[in-house]
Structure 1
Amino acid sequence: MESDRLRSWTIHLVLVLSTCVTCLKEVTALSDSTTDPFQFCHPVKQGMLNVHLVPHSHDDVGWLKTVDQYYYGSKQEIQKAGVQYILDSVTDELLINPDRRFVQVETYYLWRWFREQKARKQQQVKELVRSGRLAIANGGITSSDEATTYYQCLIDQLTWGFRRIHDMFGAEPLPLAAWKIDSFGHSREMGSILAQMGFNGVFFARIDYQDKYNRLQDKTAELVWQTSASLGTSSHLFTSIFNNHYSAPSGFCFDILCNDEPVNDDPDSRGYNVDEKVNNFINFARNVAKYYVTNNIIVPMGDDFHYQDAHVNFKNMDKLIWYVNERQQQKGSTINVLYSTPSCYLKAVNEANVTWPLKYDDFFPYGSDYHSYWTGFYTSRPNLKYFERLGNNYLQVCKQLFVLAALNTKDLKYLDALRDALGIMQHHDAITGTEKQHVADDYALILHKAVTGCEKITNNALRELMHKKKDESSHQPEIFQSCLLLNISDCAISEKSQVFTVTVYNPLSYVTSHYVRLPVTGVSYSVRDPAGTQLPVQLVPIPSPLFSLPGRKSKATVEMVFKAEDVPPLGYKSYYVEELPHRVRGKSDLADDGMDSTIGNKSPTVLFPIRNTKAVVLAATPESVTYTGEIVDEVHQIFTDWISQVVRVYKDDNHFELEWLAGPIPVNGGSGKEVISRFSTNFENNGTFYTDSNGREMIKRIRNYRPTWDVKVKEPISANYYPVTTKIVINDNKTKQHLAVFTDRSQGGTSHRDGELELMIHRRTLHDDGLGVGEALNEQQYGKGLIARGKHYVVLAVGNKPGKTALEKDIAQRRGMSPLVFLAKTSYSSFEKWAQKHKTEFSGVKQPLPRNIKILTLEPWSNNTILLRLEHLFEKGEDDQLSKSVTIDLRKLFVNLPFSHVTETLLGGNQQPKNGKLHWITEKHSQKKTEHTSRESSPYLITLMPMQIRTFIVKLKTE
């Protein structure tokens, strides 16, 4: 019997190799899915319970070990894990038996490993992928987090992973299933992104324990998720939730990291266990099937870093499949086991023609038991979360400037490194803060290296765009630098240069203004705009708690503030700054000390005192000093020796800023602490508040309530915390006022009592939570507890809808893609000489876009092409005017970017819209949904509906 099976496999292998010669040719075109993506799926058997075994290895891109340590398999004393060995071993085993399947998720590792292989092995791996044996799920650089990530970063990391896949294997096959098995809760916007990228479905392991129990009992663990309130049925995404975790069933883990017994099929052996194994597996399968509605169940066969010796895994799975299926003939069993993949399982379930329940909300918060809500990570490692957001801001500017300046491809390596670094940072153990400290340090190092590397691109691009002609004088070309430590008022160029230039680049699609704040050591400064006009300048004292920050090298005690007004879209304005030898008007005036004062001009007005209510009040009346001036008013508050705050109102703005400083959090009492910022009003919001989903659509939250089950709450604080990527809102039901608070990084937020909003800004613990990391979240820097600094942006407005004003949309966009400031020392002794040699103002677009449309992506792609995305910023019904559809003429967008051809793709840039996606019947939608197809009269005329993102690959004309 054994020899018969081996012979059949060998014959099958020969047939596959002999018919796939043409498959090895390099494919460079976009996929239009003319081939059947399911052609290599093993057939299921009608009238039987089909058990889909899905071999997989969950390979964290950093967690207990760094990315490099995981890849190479070093530091085995921390964790026995080496991804290069997994890929070596798995691909060898797949070549032996073409019936076998394996799911690869993390493209970062696959790309790194593939480039190291010799040509023959690369061709073999290409065949494994194209024949469906090595199945790619997700396809992104990593398996991303969904709570603390910004939507632009999620799109980018998936798109960049798809590009790597295309570069390795060509256009077919596509990743059409999402394998989100270890995310700590699931966001609606992540689901919307997956739906817009053409995915047929998504698989979860982690959802709230109460939610999972109820779904299993009600047989609703598989459903259709409407992932956008604006996009309707086009946002439908089939969702399958495992009955247990993503590990192999108990007793059937055949990995070298496990202790389960292998399948012993020698009848003469005292350890013979085939009957026992088969009986146990059949019982397991029948038990799982009780919770699902079709005759298909999915069984993940793997775990973290499994398959380092894949021969062990596959040999035992081969036997298990053979002996379980043998019962069909011997004993009339109705259990059919097969190797499968996520996509093949989706196809089988789809063919059952079941009507599926619909879900409209998200899967937050995630509680693994009554007392374990995974909500603290929304705030954990606040500095790393801020650096990631800053890194994305820099990435978008780097991409745009590369295209607008038409830089040489030799600089692409720096852009690719930043794409990789930001992709890695989206990992669900990276930006979340759920990794070991040495791994968090490594993430920061990777990102820092990539950001500083990309400065070569921004420097070269600004030189190319700014210099009118080659300067043959003795003047050295400027070096344009960004000061990454402005968050702590530290910048060597502004502090040590008597003359320098400031270039403000605006990555937004419309004109914006930006307040420039730079630490300086002089007593007075002159700032001239591109036209030579002298601008108002204000010197504002730096908050005194910054002077003692560990690691801050600056000697500056004041910041120079001026307004860069009307900076053009995808463009810059440059300013000439000169230190003056004597004090002139503009230094802040010191107001009376004390709390009861008013700052601001017209709207908003901030009235003090500002006091917190319980939790634990740090100081009922903080020390306070007020500074007023012609540009900005500020109140500096000190609550304790480790908590301070600046309340700031710019005279021309209609919102105010809270710049907080927290740390080192004291732990001398033997317990950790979590620091919150609470906003108290007299609103009556009836337990209702709103949070954004990854920076896009808002989701309604109700205290102690879940829309899909009757929740039982024993931890009322943590169970009511939700991720806030950019914005949280409460609404007064009587007056229709609302309070909106915007963040500069991901934080956890809630409304514990009516009239209150709170955001957690920092946390430090002394005890490990016992959930895998093996150490407490006790961040330290310079031998002390971590100090974090950040901003909240606050709007108090009147309106009949919470958080739905154009003002707030603009604030949110400026938080996601803020203007970047580049400084350069200059040897030009006067503004006139400098301006004569430089283009002091530039815009990359012919005219600003409508305020509801955004150029989300502009980046170099390949073969003289660019990747372009246009986004409608408003939700359906959010605004009477701005929620209307808009038509854009692509030919009228850019300066000096002549198009020769435009191809529309799905969101991921890897396939055309007509992709043959599976359709699902739902409770409210019995008809098949239709995908978006362009109905415009010209490929250059693009209409965008509310919340729609459209993606194009644009071929540029060449000289």
Structure 2
Amino acid sequence: MEDFRLVPLVALVAFLLLCCRSSSARPEASTCGYNACPKPVPGRVNVHLVPHTHDDVGWLMTVDQYYYYQVQFILDTVVEELLINPDRKFTYVEIAYFFRWWREQSADKQAKVKQLVKNGQLQFAQGGWSMDDEAATHYVDIIDQHTQGLRFLNDTFGDCGRPRVAWQVDPFGHSKEHAAMMALMGYDGLYFGRIDYQDQAIRRKTRRMEMVWRASQDIGSPQTDLFSGKLYDGYGQPGGFSFETGDQPVQDDPQLYDFNVEQKVKQFVDMVNTRRQVYSSDHLMLTMGNDFQYQNARKNFKIFDKLIKAVNNRTAAHNVTVYYSTPSCYTKSVHDQNLVWTVKSDDFYPYGFDAHSFLTGFFTSRAALKRYVRTASNQFQAVKQTACLAGLQRDGAEPDARIDPLRQALGVVQHHDGVSGTERQLVAYDYALRISNGIDRAYPVLQSALANLTGDSAAYSGMSTCGLANISYCPFTDSNTDFYLHFYNPVSHPVWHLARIPVTGRYYVVSDEHGQAVMSQTIPVNNGTLRVPERAGAKSTCELVFNVSAIPAMGFAVYRVAAAAPGSPGVSTFTPIRLLFGGYGRGKISASKTKADWLSQHTGCGVPSMAYYYGYPGNNSRAEFRASGAYVLRPTRQTPEQFSLEQIAGVFGPVVNETHLLWSDWAYQVLRKFSNNGDSLQYNENELTVGPIPYDANTGREVIVRYDSQLSSSATFYTDANGRQVMRRVRDYRPSWPLQQTEKVAGNYYPVPSQIFINQSDGASFTVLTDRSEGGSSINDGQIEIMLHRITARDDALGLGEALQEKGSDGRGLVVKVTHWFAADQSLSSASRRRRELANRRYREPLIGYLTAEPKVKRWSGLRRPLPENVQVVTLDDWRGPNTKLLRLEHLYQTGEHPALSQPVTVALGQMFATFDILGAMELSLAANQYLASMQRLQWRTTAAGGSAAQNAAREAVERRQLDQNLTVTLRPMQLRTFVVQVQYL
């Protein structure tokens, strides 16, 4: 490989110029950023008046409806008002909207807006494509949507457009991993509007509404320390000062009736003095805005001007000074007081609004959409990987234009009323439509990339996909009996995959990439799947099941499937579903020991049983009458209703044994135990088909599955945060305050984006891995409970105005198919390895392409050698020009999880990929909008000792030398590192 130090000077200069354009490394010489902040007045109460708007990227209306009905007028009128008075400031957040608006402006208007940004009048907070949810989102999607928004701001405004603080004012609880990523993106502070009502009451009394969040013990302090503040009472205006919604304005003309300057000043000062009692500094931030406000910015700013003048003219009487400001200016002012802050090291889940309103239902709401987002995200990563590996941008194919619709759709749906499931039904349909259209646009990029990589356009131009294969519906296999399957593996290591392909016959020969017959099995489509209404028109009668062994890292394997006569060499084994217990006219099945023993023998575990809660149909008139709704989980009783098991059936074959459990005509379960296929990470599978859930006007149902491990778990269980670090949970307990538990079930539910597990003191462990984000808990020792699907009879009166009642394609109710992987381990280290590796595979499942023509290349890897087992390529994306890429790597393990795999690991970048060499690399912040070497975050004094900023800087300097001299990268536990790299295609 050519040493980067010997790269021709012209190429090096070009790369550096490209990097400077892609990541704002150094602040511009201007009055933006902290230079644009008003100077505090010492000895006075400094009130930061922060005009802002909160523009949901879909909720009661779709994102485009909101834009055309409201948001465009907000940005139009705000810009005009900022141009009138240079003292005025405004903060904007949602880049999905700003991007739409910016495209419509004239060059003259764009120039004026750029000047407003350069002056520090128009500032951005957070800067993601949306203000994302923190419970149901996956870390890859969080990073991607922030990269997308911040890249637009950097391209458009340079460093002056860079947000200095994160602004998560509306999500319903806050994740520790999300906070860690905000710190790694370079934010100096984080503000939120919602925390548990008990937590808030104590923080107000003790003046701890602001703190330093120590967000990752693995990456450490100060890299992931983040100053965090709870806004006094949400993100809206103080009572009496919401002028856009009818509060009395400042009337400062004594010649007119209703002159009220003295009254409004007194009202303002009294409010300020009340609020400042719960904060520690001499500064107070007043958020002056709310949902979709400032459509008439003239009214707001004109009254604010008068209010500021009136208060400041009377400062000697009340010692209060007020001025226009922004969240970033407030953060800098508080920082400069050099106070000492308490440290928080847990998270803000679950979020209780009051004693009977725990917002834990949305962890599961709209389960089908949650799954769709997860699968679309995986496809998005695979398309980006293959486009880069194939060099499509180099060949002038402009893949970005075809990938961007999916990129934007995924950015929008991460919104806290998107993947959360708390939007109206019409909006959920719109999110799904955007994702579907995005996939349709991006899929030809995957075809082109594979054709380019293999020199085989004839085969790949006709490659198809089957988006409904999970319900055994695939038009391709309905009409083809001899075809090829292309398995693309996005994981950075070889993976084993259990393929399940819808077919119309019973007998097939499956051949691997070498032409060798593979053991296979056909199973009739089960009754749970046959009832799914979206199968209308499907011709498949069976599922063909076989193992795909060691799919190459970031590569593919091609298998052939051909119909055959019974008895042919290598032909599949047809295994009917045999009724074992129960049946029509035979009554319900009792929970006899014989049947329980049989289930344990044939599933390898106890019986994960299905049950449901009745949702409370309250009228929401008071807290005790809060209804279960899209946000709130509130069972009528704290113990679930048990199904009476109606039938048990079995499938016995060479690839998989299955146990089919019919709980009711709307609850069907299949437990699978696989034969040993050479994969060291064995697991069992639990497929649950739920719906249509019975509905009447007064009853909602919340359907769960319970796993009984028989472990002694001491009220303790563990869930992941956004697919990364693991959080310890203790039933009826909060680490930050003495909990008064009022809802046994809802108050113990937590988000489960990918895994939940329990441990025993001797090291035994039981783990469940999910295929989407769900809500889960351990309500009883030894048990894991996960909510699968839910409908509600009522709205919970938190703004949606609509009960959660998904009707499905036939109007009878949505059917949801959920799949869990579960396993037991006898040591914590083996459990950690299984959890980490399988969770990585679960998110990055192989993409299956269906071809009629035989591909020339049957096996290929995009890596010259697999990466170490504890390292994963998170991002490989085209960046600036055909020879510049964005590369992210992560360490998959936390400190102490595994004796070997939790150690630091070093990888060489230069010859990592099969199709290009990396000639040079420069490290960026996590969201790729700053050079890491230039990123200087504010440092905070704390009551608990943290890491040394000097030591951290020294370590980063060593890492930079390692990167510059050897193109090697060392990853410590949980570390995420981002690079812009120059490549040379081979």
What TM-score comes out, normalization by structure 2 length?
0.89
Cα distance per residue 1:526-576 (max 9 Å; x no partner): 222221111112101221122222121312121011211111011001112
| Equivalent position amino acid for 1:702 in 2 | V
CA contact (8 A) 2:213 2:225 kept: yes
> Residues 430-449 of structure 1: matches in 2 within 5 Å?
430-449=418-437
Distance in 2 of aligned mates of 1:34 and 1:928: 25
Between the two proteins, what is the percent identity of the paired residues?
39
Q: How does 1:711-750 map to 2 (within 5 A)?
A: 711-733=739-761, 735-750=762-777
Match of 1:764 among 783, 791, 795: 791
Letter of the 1:818 partner, please give it: E
Once the two structures are overlaid, the 10-residue window that deviates more, 675-684 or 850-859, is 675-684
Please give the alpha-carbon distance, in whole angstroms, between the structure 1 residues aligned to 2:667 and 2:207: 50
**Offset at 1:480?**
1.6
- Contact 1:148/1:431 (<8 A) preserved: yes
Partner of 2:368: 383
Contact 1:804 1:879 in 2 (8 A): no
Work out whether residues 504 and 574 of structure 1, in 8 Å CA contact, stay in contact via their aligned partners in 2. yes
Paired residues of 2:917 and 2:983 also in contact (CA < 8 A)? yes
Structure 1 residues 443 and 173: alpha-carbon distance in aligned structure 2, compared to 1, 3 A threshold: closer
> 63, 84, 94: which one pairs with 2:72?
84
Q: How does 1:635-674 map to 2 (within 5 A)?
A: 635-652=659-676, 654-668=682-696, 670-674=698-702
Aligned residue pairs, count: 905
* Number of the residue aligned with 2:292: 305
Aligned residue type for 2:818: G
Q: Given the alignment of the two structures, is residue 262 of structure 1 paired with residue 249 of structure 2, yes or no?
A: yes
Structure 1 669/40 Cα, relative in aligned 2: closer, same or farther at 3 Å? closer
How far apart in 2 are the matches of 1:494 and 1:945? 46
Q: Do the aligned partners of 2:667 and 2:691 also contact (CA within 8 Å) in 1? A: yes
Partner of 1:849: 867
Which one of 112, 116, 122 corresponds to residue 124 of structure 1?
112
Q: What does 1:259-338 align with in structure 2 at a 5 Å threshold?
A: 259-328=246-315, 331-338=316-323
Deviation at 1:585, TM superposition (A): 4.8
Which residue number corresponds to residue 77 of structure 1? none
Once superposed, what is the RMSD of the aligned Cα atoms? 2.0
| Deviation at residue 130 of structure 1 after TM alignment | 2.2
Partner residue of 1:31?
A: 24
The alpha-carbon deviation at position 589 of structure 1 amounts to: 5.6
Matches within 5 A, 1:205-224: 205-224=193-212
Task: Report deviation, 1:776.
Answer: 0.4
Question: How many angstroms does 1:601 deviate by?
Answer: 10
Query: Which residue in 1 is equivalent to 2:473?
Result: 490
Tell me by how many angstroms 1:309 deviates. 1.0
Ranges in structure 2 where 5+ consecutive residues have no aligned partner: 1-18, 582-594, 613-637
Per-residue CA deviations over 1:644-664 (Å, capped at 9, x if unaligned) read 000011112621010000011
For residue 28 of structure 1, give the secondary structure of its aligned residue in structure 2.
helix
Q: Secondary structure at the match of 1:239?
A: strand
Mapped to 1, the partners of 2:695 and 2:611 lie a distance apart of 22
Distance 2:410 2:91 in 1: 24
Post-superposition CA distance 1:279-309 (Å, at most 9, x none): 1101111111111111001110000000001
1:95 corresponds to = 83
2:909 maps to 1:900: no
Question: Aligned with 2:657: secondary structure?
Answer: strand
- Residue 193 (1) aligns with residue 181 (2): yes
Q: The residue matched to 2:96 in structure 1 has which SS?
A: helix
Which residue in the other structure is 1:831 paired with?
none
Report Cα offsets for 1:687-737 as digits up to 9, x if no partner.
11111011111111111111111111111111111000001111123x431
More displaced 10-residue stretch of structure 1: 28-37 or 684-693: 28-37
Q: Distance in 2 between matches of 1:890 and 1:362?
A: 35
Alpha-carbon distance in 1 for matches of 2:858, 2:555: 10
Alpha-carbon distance in structure 1 between the residues aligned to 2:20 and 2:298: 31
Aligned runs of 1:367-378 on 2, under 5 Å? 367-378=352-363
Aligned to 1:924: 944
Give SS of 1:545's match. Answer: helix
Q: How many Å separate the matches in 2 of 1:522 and 1:529? A: 20
Superposition deviation, residue 620 in structure 1: 3.8
CA-to-partner distance for each residue in 1:615-666, whole Å, 9 max, x for gaps? 3444343411111111111111110000000001111262101000001111
DSSP 3-state at the match of 1:161: helix
Letter in 2 for 1:40: A
SS at 2:402 equivalent: helix
2:521 aligned with 1:538: yes
What is the one-letter code of the residue matched to 1:427?
A: H
Q: 1:358 to 1:251 in 2, by over 3 A?
A: same
The reply on whether 1:574 has 2:558 as its aligned counterpart is yes
With 591-600 and 620-629 compared, the bigger mean Cα shift is at: 591-600
Shift of 1:499: 1.7
- Secondary structure at the counterpart of residue 64 of structure 1: coil
CA distance in 2, matches of 1:51, 1:400: 49
Paired AA for residue 279 in structure 1: K
Describe the shift of the 1:814–1:29 C-alpha distance in structure 2 as closer, same or farther (beyond 3 A).
closer
Determine the C-alpha separation between the residues in 2 that align with 1:119 and 1:341. Answer: 27
Residue 657 (structure 2) pairs with residue 633 (structure 1): yes
1:15 matched to which residue of 2? none
CA 1:669 to 1:322, structure 2 compared with 1: closer, same or farther past 3 Å? closer
> Kindly tell me: are residues 372 and 600 of structure 1, through their superposed partners in 2, closer, same or farther at Cα, counting changes over 3 Å?
closer
Shift of 1:609: 9.2
Amino acid at match of 2:262: D
For 2:600 and 2:749, locate their aligned partners in 1 and report how far apart those are by CA, in whole Å: 32
2:626 matched to which residue of 1? none
What one-letter code is carried by the residue in structure 1 that aligns with 2:236? S
Map of 2:16 onto structure 1? none
Question: Matched residues in 1 for 2:136 and 2:529: separation?
Answer: 27
1:886 aligns with 2:912: no
Indicate yes or no: 2:810 matched with 1:793.
no
Measured in 1, the distance between the counterparts of 2:946 and 2:654 equals: 62
Distance 1:192 1:116 in 2: 36
The correspondence for 1:523, drawn from 494, 501, 506, is 506
Aligned twin of 1:9: none
Task: Sort the Cα spacing of 1:766 and 1:706 in 2 relative to 1 into closer, same or farther, 3 A.
Answer: same
Alpha-carbon distance, 1:28 to partner: 2.5
Q: Deviations over 1:813-838 (max 9, x none)?
A: 01111111111223xxxxxxx35xx1
Deviation by residue 1:160-200 (Cα, 9 ceiling, x = unmatched) = 11111122223434112001000100000100000101100
Deviation at 1:582?
3.9
- Letter of the 1:903 counterpart: M
User: Partner residue of 2:586?
Assistant: none
Kindly indicate whether residue 823 of structure 2 is the aligned counterpart of residue 779 of structure 1: no
Separation of aligned partners in 2, 1:156 and 1:175:
16
Q: Distance in 1 between matches of 2:800 and 2:429?
A: 15
Residues 926 and 773 from structure 1, CA distance in 2 versus in 1: closer, same or farther, beyond 3 angstroms?
closer
> Does the alignment pair 1:814 with 2:841?
yes
Aligned to 1:675: 703
Q: Any stretches of 5+ residues in structure 1 without a counterpart?
A: 1-25, 74-81, 827-833
SS across alignment from 2:290 = strand
Distance 1:240 1:120 in 2: 38
Would you say the 8 A contact 1:455–1:481 is kept in 2? no
Residue identity opposite 1:570 in structure 2: M
**Residue 3 of structure 1: aligned partner:** none
SS in 2 for 1:795: strand
Are the aligned partners of 1:643 and 1:662 in contact in 2 as well (CA < 8 Å)?
yes
Show the 5 A alignment for 1:387-402: 387-402=372-387
Task: Write the letter of the residue equivalent to 2:468.
Answer: L
CA contact (8 A) 2:128 2:145 kept: yes
Distance in 1 (alpha carbons) for counterparts of 2:916 and 2:147: 23
Counterpart CA distance in 2 for 1:715 and 1:598 is 37
Summarize the alignment of residues 681-696 of structure 1 with structure 2, pairs less than 5 Å apart: 681-696=709-724
2:60 maps to 1:41: no
**Within 5 A, what are the aligned runs for 1:822-833?**
822-826=849-853
The residue aligned with 1:18 is none
Counterpart amino acid of 1:244?
Answer: D
C-alpha distance in structure 1 between counterparts of 2:948 and 2:327, whole Å = 22
Q: Which residue in 2 is equivalent to 1:706? A: 734
Question: Is the Cα contact below 8 Å between 2:828 and 2:897 reproduced in 1?
Answer: no
Q: Does 1:115 align with 2:99?
A: no
